[in-house]
Structure 1
C-alpha cells in the first residue's frame, strides 16, 4: 500500500500536504464542510488515529470520518481520501449505530471527486485505488481490496480518463484486469460484512445523476457478414467513428491518412478477394449499423482481427463484447486456436475491453505505415 500512498500524495505542495499538524498550530478552514462527513469545530491530528493501534472498531471508524472532514476543510483532499480508505478498513458487521449515522463512505468519496477544488492537490484517485486494490495486505485483505475496486469504479465513472488515467504499465506487466460493474456487485455481495453493495450502488446512481447521465439501456443487436456491395457502409462508419474517437490518441493528419489508405471500398474489396478477409456490420435494433469489423485467418490457425470499431455513443453497452464473442465463434468454426489483434498503446478503453474479454499482452509492435506515420501498438491474444 505504500506505493498507493506515494501515487496519491506525490506532487503535493511542500507547505501543506507533507507537514504534520502540531498541537496548537492555527489551521484556517479553507473549504466549506463536506456535507456527508461529521461536523467539526477543531482540526484533528494524526495522533488521534494512531492511538487506536490495531483497533478497527466503531470509535476508530468515526474518528476516521472526523479527521477526514478536518483534512478536507483545511484543503487536503488527497489526505482526506486516505482517511476514508482507513475507515473502509473496519470489519464492522453493519449493526453498529455509527454506521446509521455515517454510512460506509462511498457517497462521501464520490462527493469529494465531484467537488474537487481547483488548486488543491487530489493526486490521481483512479490510479491510487488501482494500486490499493492490487497491493492490499492483511488483515481482511479480500474485502478491503474489493472496497478499493468499488472506489476505483466511482473514480472511473466520475473523473475524465485523459486527466486521471489508470496505470497501464502495471496492467500490462502484472496482468491486472480491471473489474466490471458485475464483478464488483458479485464480490461485494460475497464478501461484505456490512451494506457495501447498497451504499456503493447508491453512490454510483447519485454520481450519474449529478453528471446528467441516463441509465444505460439494453440493446438488441446482431453481427452480419457482408459482401463487397456494402463496403461503402463500412467506409461511412469508419469516417464517423475515427473522427469522433481518435483525436487525442493519434494526430488528425494520421487519421486522415489511414482513412484514405485503408477505407476505400476498392482497397477493402481487394482484402476480401486476395486475403480472404471477412467484413461484418454490427447492427442495433431501431438504429441500424453502429459499427463494423474485419478479420482474416492466418496459416498458423490464428484468426486476426484487422478492424473492430463501434460508435462512441454505444460504448459501454455490450456491443463490442458481443462483436468479439461473434468473432470468436467464427474462429472456432474455422479451426483457429487463438484470436489476435493490435491496439494502440494510448487506447486505454479498448485495452480494458479486450482484457475483460480474455485477451492478454503478447508484444509491442511499432510499424511504419508510410508518410512519416507509425502504428505504435500492443499485440494481444486470446487462446481458444
Structure 2
C-alpha cells in the first residue's frame, strides 16, 4: 500500500518512501548529533507530505537544536533549514493548519531553555524574521500581550546577524542570507535600503503639507487598527492648519517635515516641552512604503537632540495598543512601556494607547 501522502514532496527536504514516526526521533534521547539532524529532516518531510505543515516546522526547529560544527558532512547534503522554513511559509496550503509561525518563533525565542540556549534562541529569531518578511502581520500578528508584559523587544536584522556570527558553529549567517535573498526573489521584492533624510522645522505656512500627509498616511495605515469613522473624526479635529497653528502659538509645539532626497516630504513630526522636563511627541508619521528604511529612527534621533537642547530628561509618546509596527520601532529605539492610557476624545471614540518613554 502506498504511503498516505497528500502534498507533493517539499523540494528542500530529503526524499522519503514511507511515513516516519515520533518514536524514531524520541529514540535519540539527548543525542543531537548528525543522525538526529538527518532524521529530523526526514520526519519533517513525512509530516509535510501527510498534510501537517505546522508539525513539519516543529521538526525543523528540532533540527536547528543540533549544534553541529560546519565540518559535519550532513550539512553539505542538508543545509541548515532556513530556506526550507521559508519555502513552507511561502507555500502554506489552504486548509492545512500552520498556526501562527510568527508568534510561535517569538515564544520559542523568548522561552528557550538549555542546552545551547543562546544559539537556539537566535536561530529561532532568525526564523521569526523570515516569517515577518513573508507573512502579513494583519493575519499573523505578534503576541503584543507578551511584548507588553515581558518587555520583549523584537530584534533587528543586524542584531540577528551579530548574534549568529558570534554563536554559530556552522554557517548560519550564510544560509540565512541565502534564505532571505531567495525569499525576496520569490516575492519580487528588493531588500530595503536605508534612506537619507533631513528633518526640518516648519512654520505656519507649511502646515497644509502636514495636513495632506496626515490624510494620506492615516488612510493607509490605520484601517484595521481603528474604524474608518474614527480615522476621519481624528483627522478632522487634529489636522486643520488653524488647529495646528494654535498649538504652535499657545503650547509652543514644534512641527517638522521629514524630507527624502528626490521624494520631498514623506512624513512629519510634532512635539512639545512639558513642565516636567519631558519632550512629548504628539505626531510622528511617515509614508508606509518607507517603513524599515531608517526614516522613523532618524526622526526620533532628531527629536531627542532637540529635547536635550531644551534641557529635557526624557522623551515620551503614546501609541495605539494595536499598532504593532510602531510599538516595535519605538522599542528598538529604546522606549519602554510606562502605562496604559485610555482617553475619551468625543463623539463616542476613545484612544486606547500605551504611554512609552525613553530617558535621555
Q: Does TM-score exceed 0.5, indicating one fold? A: yes
2:120 to 144, 157, 168: 144
1:92 to 56, 61, 68: 68
- d(CA) in 2 for partners of 1:233, 1:288: 11
Structure 1 residue 96: deviation in Å? 1.0
Asked if 1:181 corresponds to 2:161, the answer is no
1:344 to 311, 315, 320: 320
Alignment of 1:2-17 (within 5 A): none
Structure 1 residue 370: deviation in Å? 0.7
Does the residue aligned with 2:329 lie in a helix, a strand or coil?
helix
Does the residue aligned with 1:118 lie in a helix, a strand or coil?
coil
Alignment of 1:276-287 (within 5 A): 276-287=252-263
2:306 to 322, 326, 330: 330
Asked if 1:246 corresponds to 2:222, the answer is yes
Asked if 1:47 corresponds to 2:23, the answer is yes
Q: 1:7 is matched with which residue?
A: none
Alignment of 1:260-279 (within 5 A): 260-279=236-255
Structure 1 residue 27: deviation in Å? 5.3
Does the residue aligned with 2:215 lie in a helix, a strand or coil?
helix
Asked if 1:118 corresponds to 2:84, the answer is no
Asked if 1:82 corresponds to 2:97, the answer is no
Does the residue aligned with 1:354 lie in a helix, a strand or coil?
helix
Structure 1 residue 82: deviation in Å? 0.5
- d(CA) in 1 for partners of 2:148, 2:193: 31
Asked if 1:231 corresponds to 2:202, the answer is no
1:166 to 139, 142, 159: 142
Alignment of 1:198-217 (within 5 A): 198-217=174-193
Alignment of 1:14-29 (within 5 A): 28-29=4-5
- d(CA) in 2 for partners of 1:146, 1:256: 42
Does the residue aligned with 2:165 lie in a helix, a strand or coil?
helix
- d(CA) in 1 for partners of 2:33, 2:323: 43
Alignment of 1:347-366 (within 5 A): 347-366=323-342
- d(CA) in 1 for partners of 2:57, 2:197: 41
Q: 1:221 is matched with which residue?
A: 197
User: Which structure 1 segments of 5+ residues have no match?
Assistant: 1-23
Kept after mapping to 1: 8 A contact 2:3/2:17: no
Structure 1 residue 244: deviation in Å? 1.0
1:34 to 7, 10, 16: 10
Structure 1 residue 217: deviation in Å? 2.9
Aligned residues between the structures: 360
Q: 1:4 is matched with which residue?
A: none
Does the residue aligned with 1:223 lie in a helix, a strand or coil?
strand
Asked if 1:256 corresponds to 2:232, the answer is yes
Q: 2:168 is matched with which residue?
A: 192
Does the residue aligned with 1:224 lie in a helix, a strand or coil?
strand
- d(CA) in 2 for partners of 1:240, 1:352: 22
Does the residue aligned with 1:61 lie in a helix, a strand or coil?
helix
Does the residue aligned with 2:142 lie in a helix, a strand or coil?
coil
Q: 1:69 is matched with which residue?
A: 45
